[in-house]
Structure 1
Amino acid sequence: MPEAEYDRILRLPRNLADLRILKDNIAVYASDYQAQFMLGYCATYIFMQTFMIPGTIFMSLLAGALFGVVKGVILVVFTATSGASSCYFLSKLIGRPLVNWLWPEKLRFFQAEIAKRREKLLNYMLFLRITPTLPNTFINVASPIVDIPFHIFFLATMVGLIPASYITVRAGLALGDLKSVRDLYDFKTLVVLFMIGFISIVPTILKRKRAYNED
């Protein structure tokens, strides 16, 4: 195969057409050399997540297309959590100027919301991870800056990403029928995610209501 053809096939997918070409050409290798492929997949996903490189949604779709729902979800949640954790620590070291430059207003809003919810921070972080209220990239880089403890960040990320990961990985099973990435999160899907997210903050709401009644 000419080198130009390799370059066209073996590259990070930027759209669904790229993803389908990649999947068709690596499916046999991924099946025959599953351990090696998974290692490369994990390294690529974590690298992209750490350095905020767009395209991890295509990697999640690829996991579903190649490994099915169960393996795919486990793989995506593991790599997404690992990459988000790496991004957290990288941002803790050098991220403050970048976040202040890119998202100054969003950072102030996030900081104020975190300050109001210190007692039930895990519930709030779960809500943010489950729902598309704030971009995951922003949460990754802003969390250490607003002093969210890593154990809360890690747990909320690992658990909170499961619903969206399931939706994306499952969509990868029917990759040929998917017309646009936007189709993944239609109105019905968003409603379901917000309902799950609401459940995560119910304890906070009940506690506030109980405290109000006692006063």
Structure 2
Amino acid sequence: MTTQHPRRRHSPAVYRRRRLAVLLVLILIAAGVWLAIAQPWSSKAQTRNAPPPVAGSTGATSLPVPTGASPSDTPTPTVEADAQPTTVPPASTPTAHAMATAAPCTPANVAVDAVTDQTTYPSGQSPKFSIRLTNHGSTDCTMNVGTTTQKFTVTSGSDTWWRSTDCQSEPSDMTVLIKAGQTVQSATPIVWDRTRSSVSTCSATTRPKAPGGGASYHLAVEIGGIASNGTAQFILY
């Protein structure tokens, strides 16, 4: 007669090790499935997981100049002493976080002004135009100050004589941070050659000349979707 020995029970430690082994296998299987689906090494996954880009993560020091208009040799026009454009030192260059969290500039906190280098121009002298904007708000804001958003317009009475956008070439965007209380201005004025502009005369060698002899003209500007506060009046002789 064969004697059956009772089945020996394993210690609790053995069962714990077995459960841990099974759990580890399940974790490895789940990780393998996730790697196969997510493919974190791929360029698409890196792009998907990267923080959203911020266009032009920079502070405003000056405004770009539209191409297609003649730049002036004079770096900046003369303006009032209390309205000189400020310069942002390199140490205060805003971070991407500052750009991402700042609200867009609006007419409620940013004023745009048309600037001429003189109020009267002798015969043969060409006016030089700039844009000046000031953040009068208590917080920083962002604005696209690129040449795609800039517009200079010269009128005399109801007659529009010149638009900077008529023959503009290669416009570009540039979103910057305008700090609270900061004033910035065109890096270089653009020159009006005292002729009538139109999209059909951009390559013309001659265009109609604007009358002088004391004729009055007005400059209006726009940038970032915000129009200037009124116009700058000047006289041509």
TM-score range, shorter chain: under 0.3
Higher strand share: 2
TM-score (norm 2): 0.21
Larger Rg belongs to: 2
Higher helix share: 1
